[in-house]
Structure 1
Amino acid sequence: MRKRGKWPFSRPVLVCLLGLLLGIGFSFLIRSLKNAHRHANLPKCFLTEAQIRPKEPQLLLVGVMTAAKYVDTRAYNVWKTWAKSIPGKVLFFVSENTVSQHKDMPLIRLKGVNDDYPPQKKSFAMLRWFFDNQLENFHWFLRADDDLYVRGEKLDQFLRSLDPNKAHLIGQAGLGNTAEYGQLSLGPQDNYCMGGPGVVLSREALRSVAGHLENCLANLLTTHEDVEVGRCLRKHVGIACTWNYEMQTLFHNNQTVPNVYDNGNLEELRHAITLHPIKKPEVMKKIHVHALSLRLNELRAKRMTLQRDLKRATQHSLNRRFTNTTTDVQNWDYMSGHISFCANQVNCPRHTTDVNMMAAVNEIIVQLFDDFNANARQRGRILQFQNTQYSYARVEPRHGVDYVLDMILWFKKFRPPHRATLSVRRHAYVQQTFGPIETITDRKFRQKLSKRNHIAEDDGLSSTDSTIYLIVPLKGRPSTFQRFSDNLLSVIPPQEKKVEIVLVFYKSENETDDNIIKNSIFELSHILPVHVIDMTNKSFNRGQALTAGTAILPTNALLFFIDVDMIFKYDTLERIRLNTIMGVQAYFPIVFSEFSRHSWSSLDRDEQRHFSYNRRRGYFRHFGFGIASIYKQDFDAVGGFGNFEGWGLEDVDLFEKCISSHLRVLRAPDQLVHVYHSIKCPSTMPTKQRNMCIGSKTASLASLDSLAEQISLYT
C-alpha cells in the first residue's frame, strides 16, 4: 500500500491563503473602476490632447427639399450628380410618409409635414432639424430645391473665405417680381434670399434664429416660404440677404427664358456656384457632365502651369516646329460664322463648323476675357466680347491646337473723368497645348469602369474573349455572299471558337440564286456556327432583319451588325471585343468605302487587293453608321432600331439613340472595307430616305481627283 504524501500546510491554512488572494483581486478590480470613474471627472488640464480635442465640424450640410412625386426622379439625379462633390453632407427632406425605391438615398422624414405647396412648414421644419441635430457638426447650411444644380468645388472655395461664427445669410437677394413688388410687407431695408438658387446660413445665423422659427411659422404674412425665412432672420437676428450685384452671377436664377438649359446654353455655369431651375433629370445629367469638363480643364491648366514653373520653360511661339519641306507645313482652317473652309480633309473645301470646334472657340474666348478683366477694378476699365469676325485654327498633332481670333469687343472706361465706351477690333493668338500622355492598362481601365457602373466582371464587362455574333441580313446576291464567306474563312483562324454567324435570309425572285446561297451557307456551317432566320417572302427591311437576328441571342451577347458587302481582317474582331464595353460603350467603326472601279487609276486596277486605302480608290465614310457593335442588353436599353420602311435611316436612328443614352460612343477608322456595288434609289422611296440614298450613291461613284481629270479632258 502506497504511503500518502504530506502537504507542507494544513487544510485550514490553505483555505485562509485562498481567501486572502481572492480578496486582493477583488480590491484591485474595485480600485481600477473607481480610478476610471475619477478620470472621467478630472479637470481638462489632467486629460490628454486626444481626450479634450472636439471633433472638427465639416464645412457644409445641404438640405434638399423634395416631394414624393419627385424623390425618385429629380432628387435621385441630384444624389447621383452634384451631391457627390459637396464638401460635407447632403440630406433629402421629405414629408412624413414618403418612400423611395432607392435605398441608398439619405431621406429625412419630417414628422407632421406633408407635400402641400407652398412648402412653408417643410422649410421651417428643416431649419429646426438642422439646429436640433447637426448644429455643432457643420459650419454652413444650404437650403436647396430638387431642381437646383450646385458646383461643390466653387461653393467650397467661396465659403472658406467667410467666418461661420458670424451671422450670414447668403444668396441672391429679392424683393418680389413685378406683380408682387410692394405687396410682401418688406421694410425699406428688408429683402429675402430667393429660395430657387439656394440659401446659405452660417452656423451662428442658424443658432440665433432657431428659437424663433416656431413663432415665425405661426405668423406668416405671405405664402412664400423664402420671403418668410428672410423676414424671420431680419426681425430676430438683424441680418438681411447679401446685397451684392455679383450674387446674381454666383447664385444664378433664370426667370426669363423657359427651358433655356434644355438646348445646351450653359454659359452661366462657368462663373456660377448654383444654377436654377433644372426641371428635367436628363438636363441635370448634361449640366453635370459639362461642369465636370470645366473642372477637368481647370485642373489640367493648373497642372500645366505648375509643370512650366518647375521647368521654368519660356513661352512658346505659334511656330513650335520647323519644317524641312512645304509638305510638312500644317494647313490653317478658316472659320467664319458657322462655316469652315479647309484643305486636305474629308469635309473640304466648305462645310458646317464642327460642334466641338465651336465649343472650343467659345471656351477660349471666355477664358481670354476672364484673364483680360482679372484686374479690371484696379485698372478702371473692362473689356466685353461682341463677336468674332473670323478665325483660323490648325492642329499640330505633337503639340496642340493654335487659334488666330479676329474679335470685336467693347472697351469701357468707368473711372471718372475719363468714362468712355469704344468698339475696338483685336487679334488674339492662342495656344491650346496638349497635356502629357497618360497610359493605363486595358484591364485596369475596365475594372475602373465596372466599379463606376456597378457591373460585375463576370457579366462580360472585363472580358475580352466574348463570343461575337455577326448579324447579316441577306436577299439574293449569291456572288457577294460567296465573297463574304470566303473572307470569313480566310481571316478567322481554326482555333477561333467564339465567332458565330446569324444570317437573316429573305427569299429573292430568283430561286437559282437562293439555292446557291443555301449551298454556301452549308459549306460555311462546317467551319463556323451559322444560325439562319428565314424571313420567307417578306419585303427586305434591314432594321427589321437585324432586330430579328438579335431576338434569338442571349442578353449578354456581343452583337456585330454587318453587311455582305463588307470584308475585314481578323484584327477587326479583336478591336470589337476591346472597344465594346457592356453598360458603358458602343463601337461604330469608320469603314473604308470603295469608289466605282471604273474611276480607279490604271495603276490601281487590282480588284483583289481591297485593303488599299488610296484616296483615288475610296474614302473613309465618316458619316456612315450601319456597321456597329454593341451588347444586346445595351441595344435593348436604348430602344433598338426604329421601324423605317425601305432603305436607310435605321442606322442613324440607332446611333442617335446611343449618343442620347448612358452609353459612350467610340468612332475610329478600322480595317473594314465596303466593296463598291451599284445603288438603286426608286422614286417610290420616302423623300428623306431617297435623298440620303442619292447622296450615298453619288459620293461613291468617283474621287475628286478622278472627276478633276475627267473635267480637264473636256476643257
Structure 2
Amino acid sequence: MPVSRPVFLTLLGTLLGLSLTYCVSSVARLQKQPSSSSSECSQLVEPRQRTGLILMGIMTAAKYVDTRAYNVWKTWAKHVPGKVLFFVAENTETIHPDLPLIRLKGVDDTYPPQKKSFAMVKWMAENYLDEFDWFLRADDDLYVRGEELEKFLRSLDSSRAHAIGQAGLGNSAEYGLLALGSTDNYCMGGPGVVMSKETLRLLSPHLESCLQHLLTTHEDVELGRCIRRHVGVACTWNYEMQKLFHNNQTAAKASLFFIYFSTALRAHRVALRTERSDVQQPTLVRIMPNSSRDLTPWDYINNNKILFCADRVNCPRHTVDLSIRTEMGDIVTQLFEEFNSNARQRGRVLQFQSLQYGYMRVEPRYGVDYVLDMILWFKKFRPPHRTTLSVRRHAYVQQVFAPLQALSERNMRSNLRRGSNFTGENAHLHMILPLKGRAEIFARFAGHLKNICARAGDISLVVVLYASEDERANRATIEELRQSFVRVEVIEMDDAPFSRGVALMKGAERVSADGLMFFTDVDMLFTCDALHRIRLNTILNAQVYFPIVFSEFSPESWSENDRLLADAFHYGRRRGYFRHFGYGLAALYKADLIAIGGFDTKIEGWGLEDVDLFEKAVKARLRIIRSPEPGLVHIYHPIHCPETMPQAQRHMCHGSKAASLASIDALVDQISHYT
C-alpha cells in the first residue's frame, strides 16, 4: 500500500528529531563525564586549602557585643592574617548583622566564663582544626597588631605543641592558692592565649573532662592546667613575652590588653580611631637580611663578667674587655641621667642596681647595639606613697661611632719603643725547653729544629733536663743537635720533682738581662715565620708576646683528607683549633720577666704557672700582644691527669684534655650514628 507524501515526511522528521536528540544528549554526557572524573581526582590529590594563618576566637557578652566586639570588628580585625569570630551566649542578639557571631548552645553569660571559654575552644577544634595553623583565645578588650603577630607566628613551627602568652602564677593574694605545681604556670587570659594546631588537636578530646574537674574559678588557670596535663607544655616562660603579650594596667576604667611587638609601650584605646596609624616604631633592625649569612651575630654578656661570642663554633668565652665594661658603664650613667631628668617633678627616682645579662653586636655602618636586662630601684619619695621597689627592665641602646681618627703606625711603634733598646729581627732568640723523658717526642722536636735553624737566624736552645728513664736517649739527641751547629746548653735538674715554673726560671738564669727568651714545649713545631714574628712582637720594656698556638685534635677524629696531608701546618676545623685558653708559650726579655716577678716556683707539676705569669704581665705596665700564630703547632699527645695533682691543676688538666679530644664536627658524626 503506497504511503502518502505527508505521512512519509512526518515519519522522516520524527526519526531525524529522535536521532539528533540522542546525539546531543550523548555528547553532553561525554563532556560532563571527564569533568566529573577530573573533579573527583582533584579532590583525592589536592589537600584541603587553608583559609588563613590564625583563627581568632573572641569571647564577649551581650552587654559588650555592640560596643567592644563591634569596635574590634571594624578596626584591627580587618587586618588579621586569618579569620576572627565572636563567641557569645546562646540567646545573644546584635544590631550589627555583619558581625560574625557564633552562638554557643547551652552557654550563658555567667561569670567567670569557664564554660564559655572551654566551649569556644572545643568549637574551634571541631570546625576549623585543619584549616588554620594557629588559634587564639582572646577577650573583647584585646588589641592585636596583625602584621607583627604574623611575623612572629611564621617564625614558629605549628606542627609542634605550643602554648604562647604571658605566663602567670596568680596575683599576690592568690599566689600559692591556685593548685599549681612548682614548675607550673598558665597563660593569662587577658593578653590572649595562642595555641598551635598540634596543641589544639591534643587538647580538644579532654576539654569536657577538664571542665568537670575544675579546681579554681579562673578559666585561664583551668585552661592552662588542662594544656599542661594533656598536651605536656606550659605557657612560655621567657621574659620577652611580657612585652609581646602586654597587660596594660595603666588604662583608666578599662582593662585593655595588647599583643604588642615593640620596646616602647605606646597604646591607644580602640575607640579613638577606626584607621590604623602608619607611624613606625623605633627599631634596631635597619637591614632586612636575605640569608642567615647577612645576620650580624649578638654576643652574650653574662652578669657583666663573661662574654660568649656566637659567630664561630670554637669561639671562647672570656672576661668582658675593659673597653666594653667602660662603655657599658657610660651607657648606664647616661640612661639614668635621662630617666631622672624630671625626677623632682614626678616625685620618683630610678637607681641602677645590677645588670642581669645583655647582648651586644657591632653594626659596621651604624655603631654598637646593646640589649641590657637591668635590675633597678624604683623609689617614690612623696608622701603618702613613699615606697622602694626592685624592678626589672630592658634597655635597647645604640652607641653611635665617633668621628674617624687616624694614628700612623710609625708613630705608634716609635712610642712603644721609646726608652727601649730594640734590636728587631736581629735579636738573638733563646728557646727555653723543660724536658723530662719523652725521648721520641724530643727527637722529633730536635729534627725539626735542625731543619729550620739555618734559615731562622740566630737561635740557641736551653734544655732544662730532668732525670728519667729516657735520659740517655735525650742526651744522644742533644749531641746530634750540637753537631749540626745548633747551640745547645743543658741545665741539669737531676732527680728534682718536675716543675715547669722552676725549670723556666732556671733556664732564664742563663740568659743575659737584655736577652730575648721564648718559653716553649717539646710538643711544639714551628716555622721560620713564627720565629720572625716572635722577634718583631717582643719589645724590651714595652711589649710581651703570648701567641695563640694551633693545637691538634686526636688523629682518630681527623677527616680522610687531613690524614693524607704530609706536614702539620694545616688548619682545618676537623684537624685542630687555636687554643685561646692556653698561655704556656710566651716571648719576652729577661729584664721584663724579672720586672713582673717571674714564674711562681711554688707550683709543682703541670699547669697554672703560665696563667700566673700572664696575670702578672697584665698588671704590669707592659703591652700584651696576643694573636693566633699559624706558625706554631702543638702536636697531639694523650694527656694524663693524676689524681695526686692539686684540685685547681687537675681541673685545668681535665678541661684541656676534653677540649683536645675531637672537634665539634667529629662529635656530631658520633651522635648521628645513634639518631
- TM-score between both structures, scaled by the size of structure 2: 0.51
Answer yes or no: is the 8 Å Cα contact 1:482–1:520 preserved in 2.
Answer: no
> d(CA) in 2 for partners of 1:330 and 1:611?
31
In structure 2, what is the equivalent of residue 714 of structure 1?
Answer: 674
Between 389-398 and 594-603, the greater mean CA deviation after superposition: 389-398
Letter in 2 for 1:392: Y
Deviations for 1:216-262, whole angstroms, at most 9, x for unmatched residues?
Answer: xxxxxxxxxxxxxxxxxxxxxxxxxxxxxxxxxxxxxxxxxxxxxxx
Distance 1:543 1:586 in 2: 18
Distance (whole Å) between structure 1 residues aligned to residue 321 and residue 576 of structure 2: 26
**Counterparts in 2 of 1:629 and 1:515: CA distance versus 1, 3 Å:** closer
Q: Higher mean Cα deviation, 359-368 or 547-556?
A: 359-368
2:498 pairs, out of 508, 516, 540, with 540
Cα drift, residue 365 of structure 1: 1.3
Aligned to 1:704: 664
| TM-aligned CA distance change 1:691 to 1:370, over 3 Å | same
1:602 aligns with 2:570: no
CA contact (8 A) 1:507 1:514 kept: no
1:332 deviates by 2.1
Which deviations, in whole Å up to 9, do the C-alpha atoms of 1:304-362 show, x marking residues without a partner?
xxxxxxxxxxxx9634556443123122234453676663446779x686364555434
The residue aligned with 2:437 is 476
1:690-701 equivalence runs, <5 A: 690-701=650-661
Structure 1 residues 425 and 647, CA gap change in structure 2 (3 angstroms): closer
Match of 1:688 among 620, 638, 648: 648
- Equivalence for 2:537: 579
Matches within 5 A, 1:91-130: none
Shift of 1:509: 0.7
- Tell me the equivalent position of 1:130: none
Distance change (3 Å), C-alpha of 1:642 and 1:342: closer
Residue matched to 1:391: 358
State the secondary structure of the residue aligned to 2:426. coil
Q: Deviations over 1:93-129 (max 9, x none)?
A: xxxxxxxxxxxxxxxxxxxxxxxxxxxxxxxxxxxxx
Within 1, Cα distance between the matches of 2:411 and 2:361? 34
Task: Determine which of 463, 474, 483 is the counterpart of 1:503.
Answer: 463
Matched position secondary structure for 1:504 = strand
Alignment of 1:215-294 (within 5 A): none
> How many percent of aligned residue pairs carry the same amino acid?
53
Check the 8 A contact 2:478/2:488 in 1, yes or no.
no
Give the number of the structure whose alpha-carbon radius of gyration is greater.
Answer: 2
Cα distance in 1 between the residues matched to 2:335 and 2:437: 60
1:378-430 CA distances to partner (integer Å, 9 max, x unpaired)? 77764333444543222346764321123454566778999987876543222
Unaligned runs of 5+ in 2: 1-281
The TM-score normalised by the length of structure 1 is: 0.49
3-state SS in 1 of match to 2:504: helix
Equivalent residue runs for 1:66-81 within 5 Å:
none
Q: What's the CA shift for 1:707?
A: 1.9
Cα displacement (A) at 1:653: 1.8
> Match for residue 200 of structure 1?
none
Q: 1:618 matched to which residue of 2? A: 576
The answer as to whether partners of 2:301 and 2:359 remain within 8 angstroms in 1 is yes
In 2, the alpha carbon distance for the partners of 1:432 and 1:373 equals 20
Pairwise CA distance, 1:632: 0.4
Out of 333, 353, 368, the position equivalent to 1:401 is 368
SS of residue matched to 1:473:
strand
Matched residue SS, 2:473: helix
More off after superposition, 697-706 vs 322-331? 322-331
Shift of 1:599: 0.9
Among 481, 488, 495, the residue aligned to 1:530? 488
Q: Which residue of structure 2 aligns with residue 641 of structure 1?
A: 599
Q: How does 1:454-473 map to 2 (within 5 A)?
A: 455=419, 457=420, 459-460=421-422, 463-473=424-434
Name the CA shift for 1:450/1:426 in 2 (closer, same or farther; >3 Å): same
Query: In the alignment, which residue of structure 1 is the partner of 2:334?
Result: 367
Equivalent pairs counted in the alignment come to 391
2:624, 2:384 → 1: CA distance? 58
CA distance in structure 1 between the partners assigned to 2:578 and 2:339 by the alignment: 43
SS at match of 2:482: helix
Cα pair distance change 1:617/1:347, threshold 3 Å: closer
1:469 is paired with a residue of what secondary structure?
A: strand
In the alignment, is the contact (CA less than 8 A) between 1:592 and 1:674 conserved in 2? yes
Following TM superposition, by how much is the alpha carbon of 1:536 offset from its aligned partner in structure 2, in angstroms? 3.8
Q: What letter corresponds to residue 318 of structure 1 in structure 2?
A: L
Deviation at residue 618 of structure 1 after TM alignment: 1.4
Provide the C-alpha distance between the structure 1 equivalents of 2:659 and 2:400, rounded to a whole number of angstroms. 36
* Partner SS state of residue 626, structure 1: coil
Which residue of the other structure, out of 441, 446, 452, is the alignment partner of 1:485? 446
Change in 2 beyond 3 A, CA 1:631/1:712: same
For 2:554 and 2:410, locate their aligned partners in 1 and report how far apart those are by CA, in whole Å. Answer: 42
1:520-570 deviations in whole A, cap 9, x for unaligned? 32344x2x4333333344443322221111111110111111112112222
Pairs within 5 Å for 1:34-183: none
Q: Distance in 1 between matches of 2:604 and 2:339?
A: 56
Is 1:333 paired with 2:294?
Answer: no
Aligned pair in 2 of structure 1 residues 501, 439: CA closer, same or farther (>3 Å)? farther
Is the Cα–Cα contact under 8 Å of residues 335 and 353 in structure 1 kept in the other structure?
Answer: no
1:235 corresponds to which residue?
none
TM alignment of 1:165-204, pairs within 5 A: none
Corresponding residue for residue 662 of structure 1: 621
